[in-house]
Structure 1
Amino acid sequence: MIKVKGCNMFPAQIEEILKFVDGASSGYQVIIEAVNGRDVLELLFESELTSAERDACEREVAAVFKAKIGGTPKATAVPLGELPRSEKKTKRIFDSRY
């Protein structure tokens, strides 16, 4: 479990959101940083869509994330295969606030 901006979230919830949105793949990374004393959550997810469709998918992922979890991430779609793969348990959440 991670806590960002007063919202508790689990990695399984993020996977559910990405399954719910058409065009989003299951590969993702979450980067949490403190910028000027405020927490910023960036959600990188893989997508095979073109640029115009990708922008709409990013907005939809952010809206569904806000509705289901309560926080608003900076959702960014990246091409398939750009995020690292691992055979064992993959580290997907990077928290650099502390």
Structure 2
Amino acid sequence: MASDSSKLEDAIELLVRNFYKHAGGNDKMNKEEFRKIITQDLHHILTYTENKEAVDKLIKSVDKDKDKKISFDEYWTLIGTIAKMLSQHMAMQCQK
């Protein structure tokens, strides 16, 4: 992106690049590539990522077409879900 891009534009670009990095440049990633994103890149936000069953449940919840591959849209759904949980957490903190 341009050097005068906003922090929000930079964040979106980072999310998109992260998907393609883990997917090896493909338009979908396999279960292990997705597991790597969860355990390496989201370990501070998501809890229990060491629990294989929890990760498998997360994979199944975003893999809507059940083809065992995670598309960019499914990855984006995960990011949206995490953002929503953070928003709810922040709203609760503001109410205290």
Confirm or deny a common fold (TM above 0.5).
no
Q: With structure 2 as the length reference, what TM-score do the two structures score?
A: 0.32
**TM-score normalised per structure 1:** 0.31
Computing the radius of gyration over CA atoms, which structure comes out larger, 1 or 2?
Answer: 2
Bigger relative contact order, structure 1 or 2 (CA pairs below 8 A, ≥6 apart):
1
User: Greater helix percent: which structure?
Assistant: 2
Greater strand proportion: 1
